[in-house]
């Protein structure tokens, strides 16, 4: 998507004044926008990325942007106390107190900044990465009267204002309206839009307040006039007649100077900018997706993202970058090897630099063959000059006079001229101060950290390192005698000073904290001294060079600690893998019941353990020194057995992902062929009900309700082997599952229940011949056993395809005993098996029919596998119509029992509530829900099973009465004690991602599902047609909605089991 090339450029000057009567004489940033809204109204200003990485970004024209700013001005004037335009008091112009903006980085930052500037209110633009200590310092030093804070940043601000003294005026905190609300036309009719304040004083620097790291370890405010922002808009060499079309994609946060460059160029030369949503941290993959979705022609980013793009598989990152007009890199130094590789591959790399005090220093242009990417081209339009220190070193200091300043400002970086272009191109050699620039481009000023640690009586000096790395470490010179050869003594010393390191962490932002004791390098004056100048001060650069070996060892140790190298031989690799996996899932490698073909997830592995296994394997490969092909992030899920994983690591299998639909259809063909080859009938039958998965929530109610029916002679349960020592036998485990659901089966009914310990994927279910032969008497089968794991791949569910095939085989064998009886199989499927049907067809209502297009499933292993089993069950009925009857029931969201309130806290919605308690807010879920209690659902399944007519292939089971989420959220808020604390879903997800305590934040375990599938599945975008099921089931036809009594029951149950506080 590109904007029209017919763009009228605004006129403005940085170093001279234009006549005031000129129509398009621009003096301020808001006037730039107003000009474009007037002369270029339909031109695209911004493309705002959205959370769905497959969805195109939202286009915003200049007219829409201007209207959003005006609406924001009205909202601010109405909602924020103390907001007013400058007014004369006692002969002097007085401004309102400054307003802080602390928001996630999306176009809303620009809208709020523009609105406040238009009102003449000073703006304090705060980084979302600041610590509470830094936030408090800036709010106090700028005398901010209020601060506009998005939900994800509120906790830090609340901690900041908590540090205010009793005599200090605490700023008011306001939650912003999201940018998309300003774009809506409804609801703004009665809002009064105040006029823009149009008196501009050129030397008034109390306009835009940014911040830097400062020399004290705390950020200091830097005050700027209106012209400072115009400096960004003028930072280019595009001529008046140049066609500057094509979108400019930027991964940079808008609360930093470099991030303001892309919207400024959109305002000055009409080059639309595209930015990611505030809810994500930009990565190479997300940037590549944004480039494609926006059809971008240029990119602005930091070194770490460009490096990751360089090394993406199949050179897809390089291909995308090569096609761009230019790629601007800044925010930190790019590795020489990375820059050279990009340029050699044909990427037009443009080096950029800026300083918070001066603004952007290097102009944006189309780099030609004579430009050397290692050097900067300095601007000539803002009065910069180079100063030779006179020491004969050939280095220069860059001097500028920031707009509105009466004095000059020396940039801290030293520059070296390009010998082939000495007058225009300069290389950045490094900062003259002690700032550490991480590989991500983020900056750490560690002075306060170093001072805090050095104040420990056991420490003489402390100095940080980490330039070009992803985290920092600390060299500590001990003030006590240590035997540096005694590793235990050195480790004990680190333990002793660790509290001081943790105290020092309080003074640095998250990216600058030291989180590993392995990143502490210890020395003593007698062992290895820290280099000092003649004046006795430490010289960081020399010290880092002197300790290069120890520093490299610290990073390597932190990465490889506790990891053994991968064995060299094929045979040893399999044994090594089994030991590695066994250590994680707590099964002895010598256990005779653990076969190399057993699925890890069937053995109890969860997604966290899969991540641990992946990390250990990759580290072991690295430690072995062997060259190895790249492994995908989910290779454990694709190869979830010792055999398949060993094959992958031995080069006998492929980790490359095939088309998901092809893989799903291949599974159907594979197991249907086995169904076709089963022998014809030869024997005669009896009748009972076979139930799998009877220890689960739905299965427990199915068992209890089946045994209560007088015409059911017997229920046979096939359950997995007992892995917990807490159960003495199969019945005790079943009773425990029933008790968990608040279910009691009369003693007299237990005589009709038989429970077998079975392996459903094994031939004859792994049962003795006598037990298996007894199963030939079944008349009805409910196949309900299924693992609730949203992280597994399609391939890892293959044992369940075996199980489904074995279920069909049993039904056919039962038919052999009596050809007059056709056993009926009912498979419990999921709404997720058809979750993408609305997106594919445009119809929200999903028909109760088989779906042969594999693309209808949600895109993760759980529903893909359910779809495969649906197809297997359907094909079995089609192939053997005279012998068996088959049906699948797609089930929607089941809640807990409406009699006991029992609802497993391990399911995703109870996890959402637990995390909400930790966060202090419920997520705002839009649309409608169709919940049905699990005991009610069990009655529906049984009514479908025992219907008198032959079943249809597919039935749907969800509550036909849909209810607004807003009503349920009110009930939940009241029950949880979280009134009026509902926040936008994406903001809530941001908080989930930020909390690492899995016990307090169980939603973090299913965050991918919540990001990609939950809202579509749960909010009414996916609706199951239940007409066929309602014709059969009186329970479903008469089903009512979820009431307050249900909510109270569920919350009471979760509290009783310790899930909720």
pLDDT tens across 588-622, in order?
888 877 888 888 877 777 654 676 687 678 878 87
pLDDT tens across 436-493, in order?
877 655 667 787 788 789 888 899 889 999 987 767 999 999 989 899 999 999 999 9
pLDDT band at 388 (very low <50, low <70, confident <90, very high): confident
Task: Supply the CATH number for residue 65's domain.
Answer: 3.40.50.980
Residues 104 and 225 in one domain: yes
Q: What backbone torsions phi and psi does residue 692 show, to the nearest 5 degrees?
A: -105, 150
Task: Supply the CATH number for residue 265's domain.
Answer: 3.40.50.12780
pLDDT at 726: 58
Residues 62 and 188 in one domain: yes
891 class by beta-carbon count within 10 Å (0-12 exposed, 13-18 middle, 19+ buried): buried
Residues 99 and 169 in one domain: yes
For the segment 869-874, the average pLDDT, to the nearest whole number, is 94
pLDDT band at 114 (very low <50, low <70, confident <90, very high): very high
pLDDT band at 201 (very low <50, low <70, confident <90, very high): confident
Helix and strand counts by DSSP (H, E) for the chain:
36, 42
- Please state, in angstroms and rounded to a whole number, the distance separating the CA atoms of residues 547 and 484: 15
pLDDT at 495: 94
Asked if residue 791 is part of any domain, the answer here is: no
Specify which of 88-102, 105-119, 197-211, 924-938 reaches the highest per-range mean pLDDT: 105-119
Q: N- to C-terminal Cα distance for the chain?
A: 50
Residues 224 and 249 in one domain: no
Q: What backbone torsions phi and psi does residue 294 show, to the nearest 5 degrees?
A: -95, -5
* Domains: count for the chain: 5
Single out the residue in 230, 259, 274 at which a domain terminates.
Answer: 230
- Please state, in angstroms and rounded to a whole number, the distance separating the CA atoms of residues 985 and 923: 5
pLDDT at 1061: 81
- Please state, in angstroms and rounded to a whole number, the distance separating the CA atoms of residues 113 and 101: 8
Least confident segment among 10-24, 146-160, 529-543, 957-971:
10-24
State the sign of the Cα–Cα–Cα–Cα dihedral 415, 419, 422, 425.
negative
Task: Identify which has the larger pLDDT, 235 or 1037.
Answer: 235
Angle between helices 861-879 and 798-817 (to 10 degrees): 20
Task: Supply the CATH number for residue 533's domain.
Answer: 3.30.300.30
- Please state, in angstroms and rounded to a whole number, the distance separating the CA atoms of residues 308 and 932: 46
Asked if residue 802 is part of any domain, the answer here is: no
715 class by beta-carbon count within 10 Å (0-12 exposed, 13-18 middle, 19+ buried): buried
Asked if residue 210 is part of any domain, the answer here is: yes
Going across the sheet that includes 99-102, the strands are: 172-174, 146-149, 99-102, 123-125, 208-212, 220-224
**Bridge partners, 820 (sequence order):** none
Tokens of 469: 């790395």
pLDDT tens across 659-672, in order?
567 667 777 776 76
Single out the residue in 622, 657, 692 at which a domain terminates.
Answer: 657
- Please state, in angstroms and rounded to a whole number, the distance separating the CA atoms of residues 821 and 226: 86
Which residues fall within 8 angstroms of residue 1048, CB to CB, at 6 or more apart?
975
pLDDT at 2: 39
pLDDT tens across 277-336, in order?
998 888 889 999 999 999 999 999 988 789 889 988 888 999 999 999 999 999 877 767
Residues 214 and 245 in one domain: no
Domain extent at residue 607 = 570-657
Q: Closest Cα partner for 832 from 660, 1017, 1019, 661?
A: 1017
Asked if residue 650 is part of any domain, the answer here is: yes
Residues 450 and 594 in one domain: no
pLDDT at 680: 43
pLDDT band at 1002 (very low <50, low <70, confident <90, very high): confident
Longest Cα–Cα distance in the chain: 108
Residues 540 and 596 in one domain: no
pLDDT at 18: 43
- Please state, in angstroms and rounded to a whole number, the distance separating the CA atoms of residues 110 and 263: 8
Residues 284 and 344 in one domain: yes
pLDDT at 654: 46
Asked if residue 1028 is part of any domain, the answer here is: yes
Residues 513 and 581 in one domain: no
pLDDT at 217: 57
For the segment 579-587, the average pLDDT, to the nearest whole number, is 84
- Please state, in angstroms and rounded to a whole number, the distance separating the CA atoms of residues 152 and 145: 21
The pLDDT of residue 533 is above 60: no
Residues 120 and 222 in one domain: yes
Single out the residue in 173, 204, 230 at which a domain terminates.
Answer: 230
- Please state, in angstroms and rounded to a whole number, the distance separating the CA atoms of residues 206 and 224: 6
Asked if residue 733 is part of any domain, the answer here is: no
Asked if residue 477 is part of any domain, the answer here is: yes
Residues 162 and 54 in one domain: yes
The pLDDT of residue 653 is above 50: no
pLDDT at 342: 94
- Please state, in angstroms and rounded to a whole number, the distance separating the CA atoms of residues 166 and 147: 19
Beta strands in 375-532 (DSSP E): 376-377, 385-387, 395-400, 409-418, 421-431, 436-437, 443-444, 459-465, 473-478, 520-523
pLDDT at 3: 39
The pLDDT of residue 22 is above 50: no
What CA–CA distances, in Å, run from 572 to 25, 348, 551, 654, 669?
76, 48, 34, 20, 35
State the sign of the Cα–Cα–Cα–Cα dihedral 361, 365, 368, 374.
positive
Residues 60 and 99 in one domain: yes
pLDDT tens across 239-257, in order?
887 778 899 999 999 998 8
Asked if residue 186 is part of any domain, the answer here is: yes
pLDDT at 570: 65
């Amino acid at each position: 998507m590109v904007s029209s090339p017919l763009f009228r450029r605004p006129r403005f000057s940085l170093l001279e004044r234009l006549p005031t009567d000129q129509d398009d004489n621009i003096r301020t940033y808001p006037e730039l926008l107003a000009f474009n809204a007037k002369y270029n109204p339909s031109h695209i200003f911004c493309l705002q990325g959205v959370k769905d990485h497959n969805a195109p970004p939202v286009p915003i024209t200049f007219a829409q942007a201007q209207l959003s700013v005006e609406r924001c001005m009205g909202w601010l004037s109405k909602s924020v106390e103390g907001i007013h335009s400058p007014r004369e008091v006692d002969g002097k112009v007085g401004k309102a107190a400054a307003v802080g903006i602390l928001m996630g980085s999306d176009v809303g930052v620009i809208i709020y900044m523009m609105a406040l500037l238009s009102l003449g209110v000073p703006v304090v633009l705060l980084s979302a990465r600041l610590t509470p200590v830094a936030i408090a310092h800036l709010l106090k030093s700028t005398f901010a009267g209020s601060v506009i804070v998005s939900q994800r940043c509120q906790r830090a601000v609340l901690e900041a204002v908590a540090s205010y003294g009793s005599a200090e005026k605490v700023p008011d905190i306001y939650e912003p309206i999201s940018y998309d609300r300003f774009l809506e036309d409804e609801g703004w009719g009665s809002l009064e839009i105040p006029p823009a304040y149009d008196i501009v004083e050129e030397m008034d620097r109390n306009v835009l307040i940014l911040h830097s790291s400062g020399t004290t370890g705390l950020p200091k405010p830097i005050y700027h006039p209106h012209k400072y922002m115009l400096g960004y808009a003028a930072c280019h060499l595009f001529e008046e007649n140049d066609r500057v079309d094509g979108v400019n994609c930027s991964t940079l946060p808008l609360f930093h100077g470099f991030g303001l460059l892309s919207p400024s160029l959109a305002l000055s030369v009409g080059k639309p900018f595209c930015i990611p949503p505030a809810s994500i941290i930009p990565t190479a993959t997300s940037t590549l997706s944004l480039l494609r979705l926006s059809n971008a022609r240029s990119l602005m980013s930091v070194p770490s993202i460009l490096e990751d793009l360089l090394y993406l598989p199949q050179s897809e990152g390089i291909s995308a970058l090569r096609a761009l007009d230019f790629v601007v890199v800044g925010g930190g130094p790019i590795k020489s090897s990375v820059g050279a590789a990009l340029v050699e591959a044909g990427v037009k790399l443009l080096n950029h630099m800026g300083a918070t005090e001066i603004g952007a220093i290097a102009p944006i242009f189309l780099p030609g063959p004579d430009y050397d990417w290692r050097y900067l081209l300095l601007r000539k339009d803002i009065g910069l000059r180079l100063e030779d220190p006179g020491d004969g070193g050939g280095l220069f200091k860059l001097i500028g006079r920031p707009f509105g300043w009466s004095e000059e400002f020396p940039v801290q970086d030293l520059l070296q001229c390009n010998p082939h272009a000495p007058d225009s191109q300069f290389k950045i050699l490094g900062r003259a101060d002690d700032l550490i620039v991480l590989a991500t481009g983020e900056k750490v000023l560690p002075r306060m950290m170093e001072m805090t640690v050095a104040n420990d009586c056991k420490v003489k000096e402390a100095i940080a390192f980490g330039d070009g790395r992803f985290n920092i470490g600390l060299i500590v010179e001990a003030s006590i005698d240590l035997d540096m050869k005694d590793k235990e003594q050195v480790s004990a010393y680190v333990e002793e000073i660790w509290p001081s390191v943790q105290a020092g962490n309080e003074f640095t932002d998250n990216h600058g904290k030291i989180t590993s004791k392995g990143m502490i390098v210890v020395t003593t004056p007698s062992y290895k001294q820290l280099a000092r100048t003649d004046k006795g001060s430490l010289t960081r650069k020399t010290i880092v060079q002197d300790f290069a070996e120890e520093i490299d060892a610290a990073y390597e140790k932190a990465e490889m600690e506790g990891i053994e190298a991968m064995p060299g031989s094929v045979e040893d690799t399999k044994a090594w893998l089994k030991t590695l996996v066994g250590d994680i899932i707590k099964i002895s490698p010598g256990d005779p019941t653990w076969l190399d073909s057993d699925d890890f997830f069937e053995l109890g592995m969860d997604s966290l353990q899969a991540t641990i296994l992946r990390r250990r394997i990759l580290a072991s490969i690295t430690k072995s020194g062997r060259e190895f092909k790249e492994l995908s992030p989910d290779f454990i899920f694709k190869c979830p057995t010792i055999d398949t994983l060993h094959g992958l690591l031995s080069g006998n299998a492929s980790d490359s992902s095939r088309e998901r639909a092809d893989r799903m259809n291949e599974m159907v063909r594979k197991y249907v062929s086995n169904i076709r080859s089963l022998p014809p009938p030869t024997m005669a039958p009896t009748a009972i009900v076979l139930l799998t998965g009877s220890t689960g929530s739905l299965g427990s109610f199915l068992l209890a309700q089946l045994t209560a029916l007088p015409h059911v002679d017997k229920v046979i349960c096939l359950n997995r082997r007992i892995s917990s020592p807490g159960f003495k036998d199969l019945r005790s485990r079943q009773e425990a599952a029933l008790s968990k659901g608040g279910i009691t089966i009369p003693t007299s009914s237990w005589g009709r229940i038989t429970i077998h310990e079975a392996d459903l994927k094994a031939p004859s279910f792994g049962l003795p011949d006598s037990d298996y032969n007894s199963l030939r008497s079944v008349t009805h089968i409910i196949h309900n056993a299924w693992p609730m794991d949203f992280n597994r791949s399609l391939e890892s569910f293959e044992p369940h395809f075996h199980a489904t095939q074995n279920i069909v085989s049993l039904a056919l064998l039962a038919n052999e005993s009596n050809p007059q009886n056709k056993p009926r199989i009912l498979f419990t499927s999921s709404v997720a098996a058809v979750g993408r049907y609305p997106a594919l067809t445009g119809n929200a209502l999903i028909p109760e029919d088989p779906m042969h297009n594999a693309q209808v499933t949600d895109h993760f292993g759980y529903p893909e596998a359910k779809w495969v089993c649906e197809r297997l069950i359907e094909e079995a009925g089609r192939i053997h119509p005279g012998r068996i009857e088959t049906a699948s029931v797609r089930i929607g969201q089941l809640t807990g029992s409406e009699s006991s309130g029992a609802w497993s806290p391990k399911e995703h919605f109870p996890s959402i509530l637990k995390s909400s308690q930790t966060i202090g807010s419920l997520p705002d879920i839009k649309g409608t829900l169709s919940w049905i209690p699990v005991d009610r659902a069990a009655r529906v399944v049984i009514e479908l099973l025992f219907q008198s007519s032959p079943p249809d292939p597919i039935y749907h089971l969800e509550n036909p009465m849909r209810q607004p989420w807003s009503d349920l959220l009110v009930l939940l808020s009241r029950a949880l004690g979280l009134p009026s604390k509902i926040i936008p879903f994406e903001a809530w997800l941001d908080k989930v991602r930020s909390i690492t305590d899995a016990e307090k934040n169980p939603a973090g375990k299913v965050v991918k599902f919540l990001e990609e599938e939950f809202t579509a599945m749960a909010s009414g975008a996916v609706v199951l047609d239940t007409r066929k099921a309602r014709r059969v089931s009186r329970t479903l036809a008469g089903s009512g909605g979820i009431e307050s009594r249900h909510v109270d029951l569920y919350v009471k149950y979760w509290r009783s089991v310790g899930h909720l506080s």
